[in-house]
């Protein structure tokens, strides 16, 4: 995937279910050139790709807050600017059974290493995200007020995309 | 249209994002694009037509100091984005979806709303819609649409937000679904919007819209403005005694603002 405004970056996203080795991955996140995201915290494609868009924008205008594009994606997903909290809430947990792996390459394409995640690879699309995402946990992390009733995933997702765009600004 | 502006926008959006200018105001230039900034698969409307998107760009102003100009542009872009995100969280208010915010370049990406009215009547904002109905000016669709316009403004004001530039071009109608004749009413352009509890700001909003209706549809404006206020009042009246009291205050100030306006035109 390439975002039209940032053609120098090649982006790969994979979604896995029934992940067996989350604890192992979690212990090695610092050395692996990927962003590992707990898929239960993602309700739509646009939620994640809006965060990637923001990451590339912050990078282009020299405003990265973390060391790598991959850690910046986790921060970009978060509604607050606390980096530790962003990792804890959106990053892989030792118990994660569903994972999203994001790889961003500047100048040149690479593939996500197939042997990395032991689990079933499924298509990264709305239907596969919606059916499992943890709406209560998402609403809590994004601090959505009870008065906001998201009757469908697209309303929920829209509120998250707004928060992602405006964090810290 | 200034080629310089188009070149600047194309430079940072890159030629991968085709743009077509649709409007130029004092504050912003508005483009449409067929490209989405970050969705990997194209989106389609109910008829299967590919969606287009709005890009609202605030160009640098040469007469301002560059650093101050950049700060102001960032501030205004973010202010509009924040308002749109807050308003979406309020049940019942219809505003365009915020797709992307680029404060560094003064750019907002928004959902495109509305359509072309039949018989070359133009884009489906309230102004053109009323013209399109000029031969049957009091029909049911006109009435229900104007009541909905009033309800949108009522929801906005009841929740202590003001629009700041409430003209009949900044009210856009979009089809509720492709089968029906009914319109869903959206408020657009929150560039001058604000959070405000002041009855004065609300009175001015109502006055600006009343003037817009009178000046473009004078023969029917009494009824039209009555329907708008009917919808506006519906929102407040749903909130018991407290709502009724607030409504009285706003409408009282609205008529004060109108009086001041009359005096000014009599003198000037
Ligand atoms: N979300 C939108 N959908 C459709 N048209 C729009 C939208 N936003 C702005 N426009 C058009 O662009 C003009 C100027 O936009 P603005 O500067 O926001 O008032 C409006 O009068 C509309 O015709």
Q: Among B172, B168, B164, which residue's Cα sits nearest to residue B193?
A: B164
Q: Under an 8 A CB cutoff, do B98 and A1 touch? A: no
In testing the pocket of ligand 1, which one of B1, B23, B107 has its CB within 8 Å of the most ligand atoms?
B23
Chain B residues touching residue A144 (CB < 8 angstroms): 89
Tokens of B218: 């004078």
Q: Are residues B214 and B99 in the same domain?
A: no
The Cα–Cα gap between B141 and B84 comes to 27
Instruction: Classify residue A3: in a domain, yes or no.
Output: no
CB contact under 8 A, A161 and B17: no
Residue B65, in any domain of the structure:
yes
The 3-class SS string of B192-226 reads CCEECCCHHHHHHHHHHHHHHHHHHCHHHHHHHHH
Residue B9 gets the label, from left (phi > 0), alpha (psi -120 to 50) or beta, of alpha
Instruction: Give the pLDDT of chain A (169 residues) as one tens digit per residue.
Output: 999 999 999 999 999 999 999 999 999 999 999 999 999 999 999 999 999 999 999 999 989 999 999 999 999 999 999 999 999 999 999 999 999 999 999 877 788 888 999 999 999 999 999 989 999 999 999 999 999 998 899 999 999 999 999 999 8
CATH for B221: 1.10.510.10
Give the end of a domain, one of B52, B85, B111.
B111
- CA dist list (Å): A30 to A24, A125, B142, B205: 12, 27, 61, 54
Of all protein residues, whose CA lies closest to atom 13 belonging to ligand 1?
B23
- Cα angle vertex B98, ends B151, B27, to 5°? 85
Say which of A1, A5, A61 has its CB closest to residue B37.
Answer: A5
* Separation of CA B115 and ligand 1 centre (Å): 12
User: In this structure, is residue B117 part of a structural domain?
Assistant: no
- pLDDT for A125 equals 97
In terms of residue numbers, what domain contains B11?
3-111
Q: How far apart are CA B13 and CA B24, in angstroms?
A: 18
Judge if B103 and B169 occupy the same domain: no
User: What CATH number is attached to the domain comprising B25?
Assistant: 3.30.200.20
B141 and B73 in one domain?
A: no
Q: From the centroid of its chain, how far is CA B17?
A: 25
Q: Is residue B200 part of a domain?
A: yes
- DSSP letter (8 states) at residue B117: P
User: What phi and psi, each to the nearest 5 degrees, are found at residue B15?
Assistant: -65, -5
Cα dihedral B115, B120, B125, B130 in deg (nearest 10): -140
Q: What is the domain count for chain B? A: 2
Contact A161, B109 (CB under 8 A): no
Same domain, B186 and B151: yes
Same domain, B250 and B134: yes
User: Hey, which bits of B81-182 come out as E strands?
Assistant: 98-102, 107-111, 161-162, 171-175
Domain count, chain A: 1
CA separation for the pair B230, A161 (Å, rounded): 35
SS3 for B251?
helix
The reply to whether B241 and B167 lie within a common domain is: yes
Whether residue B186 sits in one domain with residue B57: no
Query: Which residues of B are the active-site residues?
Result: 165
CB pairs < 8 Å spanning A and B = 67
Same domain, B99 and B21: yes
Chain B nearest CA to A24, separation (Å): 31
Expressed as residue numbers, the domain containing A41 is 9-166
How is residue A73 written in tokens? 């994606």
Inside any domain, residue B130: yes
B23 lines ligand 1 (CB under 6 A): yes
- Pair B144, B257 in one domain: yes
DSSP one-letter code for B232: H
Residue B145 pairs in a beta bridge with none
Q: Is B149 helix (H, G, I), strand (E, B) or coil?
A: helix
| Same domain membership, residue B223 and residue B152 | yes
Per-residue pLDDT of B25-46, as tens digits, reads 888 999 999 999 999 998 998 8
pLDDT of amino acid B263: 80
The rounded distance, in Å, linking the Cα atoms of A72 and A83 is 9
Q: How far apart are CA A144 and CA B91, in angstroms?
A: 13
Does residue B74 sit in the same domain as residue B106?
yes
**Residue A2 belongs to a domain:** no
Bridge-based pairing of strands B161-162 and B107-111 is unpaired
Question: B84 and A57: CB-CB below 8 Å?
Answer: no
Tokens linked to A7: 């053609």
Q: What's the full length of chain B, in residues?
A: 268
The answer to whether residue B118 sits within a structural domain is no
Say if B232 falls within a structural domain: yes
**Helix, strand or coil, per DSSP, at residue B64:** coil
Instruction: Tell me whether residue A32 is in a domain.
Output: yes
B22 lines ligand 1 (CB under 6 A): yes
Q: Which residue of B has its CA nearest to A145?
A: B89
State phi, psi for B248 to the nearest 5 degrees.
-55, -45
CATH of the domain at A101: 3.30.2380.10
Kindly state the DSSP code that residue A91 receives in the 8-state scheme. B
Query: By a Cβ cutoff of 8 Å, what residues of chain B touch chain A?
Result: 12-14, 16-17, 35, 37-41, 78, 81-82, 84-85, 88-91, 97-104
Q: Which is the closest atom of ligand 1 to the Cα of B191?
A: 18
pLDDT at A113 (0 to 100):
87
Distance CA B217, CA B127 (A): 9
**Does B105 lie in the same domain as B62?**
yes
| B34 inside domain | yes
pLDDT score for B268: 53
Q: Tell me if B150 sits within 8 A of B223, measured CB to CB.
A: no
Contacts of B84 in chain A (CB under 8 A): 162
pLDDT beneath 50: ranges in chain B: none
Tell me which of B57, B82, B111 is where a domain ends: B111
| DSSP secondary structure letter of residue A92 | -
Residue A37 forms part of a structural domain? yes
* B120 inside domain: no
Which residues, 6 or more positions from B259, have their beta carbon under 8 angstroms from its beta carbon? Answer: none
Among B84, B89, B104, beta carbon nearest to A61: B104
Domain end marker among B111, B134, B160: B111
């Amino acid at each position: 995937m390439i975002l039209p405004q940032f053609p120098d970056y090649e982006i790969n996203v994979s979604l896995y279910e029934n992940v067996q080795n989350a604890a192992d991955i979690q212990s090695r996140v610092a050395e692996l050139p990927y962003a590992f995201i707990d898929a239960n915290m993602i309700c739509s494609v646009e939620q994640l790709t809006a965060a990637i868009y923001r990451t590339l924008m912050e990078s282009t205008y020299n405003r990265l807050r973390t060391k790598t594009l991959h850690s910046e994606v986790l921060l970009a997903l978060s509604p607050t600017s606390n980096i530790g909290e962003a990792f804890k809430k959106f990053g892989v947990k030792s118990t994660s059974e569903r994972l999203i792996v994001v790889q961003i390459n500047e100048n040149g394409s690479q593939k996500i290493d197939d042997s990395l995640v032991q689990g079933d690879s499924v298509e990264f699309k709305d239907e596969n995200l919606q059916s499992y995402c943890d709406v209560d946990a998402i609403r809590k992390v994004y601090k959505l007020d009870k008065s906001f009733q998201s009757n469908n995933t697209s309303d929920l997702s829209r509120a998250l995309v707004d928060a992602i765009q405006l964090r810290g600004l | 249209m200034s080629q310089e502006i188009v070149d600047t926008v194309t430079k940072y959006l890159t030629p991968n994002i085709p743009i077509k200018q649709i409007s130029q105001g004092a504050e912003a230039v508005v483009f449409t694009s067929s490209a989405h900034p970050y969705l990997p698969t194209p989106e389609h409307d109910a008829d299967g037509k590919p969606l287009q998107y709005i890009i609202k760009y605030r160009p640098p102003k040469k007469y301002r100091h560059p650093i101050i100009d950049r700060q102001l542009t960032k501030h205004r872009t973010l202010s509009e984005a924040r308002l749109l995100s807050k308003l979406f969280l309020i049940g019942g208010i219809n505003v365009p979806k915020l797709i992307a915010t680029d404060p560094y370049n003064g750019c907002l990406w928004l959902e495109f709303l509305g359509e072309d009215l039949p018989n070359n009547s133009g884009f489906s904002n309230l102004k053109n819609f009323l013209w399109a109905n000029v031969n049957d000016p009091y029909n049911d669709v006109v009435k229900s649409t104007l009541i909905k316009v009033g309800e949108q403004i009522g929801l906005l004001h009841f929740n202590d937000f003001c629009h700041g530039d409430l003209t009949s071009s900044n009210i856009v109608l979009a089809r509720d679904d492709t089968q029906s004749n009914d319109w869903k009413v959206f408020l657009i352009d929150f560039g001058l919007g604000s959070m405000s509890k002041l009855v004065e700001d609300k009175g001015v909003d109502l006055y600006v819209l009343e003037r817009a209706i009178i000046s473009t549809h004078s023969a029917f404006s009494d009824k039209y403005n009555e329907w708008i206020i009917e919808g506006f009042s519906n929102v407040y009246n749903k909130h018991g005694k407290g709502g009724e009291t607030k409504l009285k205050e706003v409408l009282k100030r609205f008529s004060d603002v109108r009086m001041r306006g009359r005096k000014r035109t009599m003198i000037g």
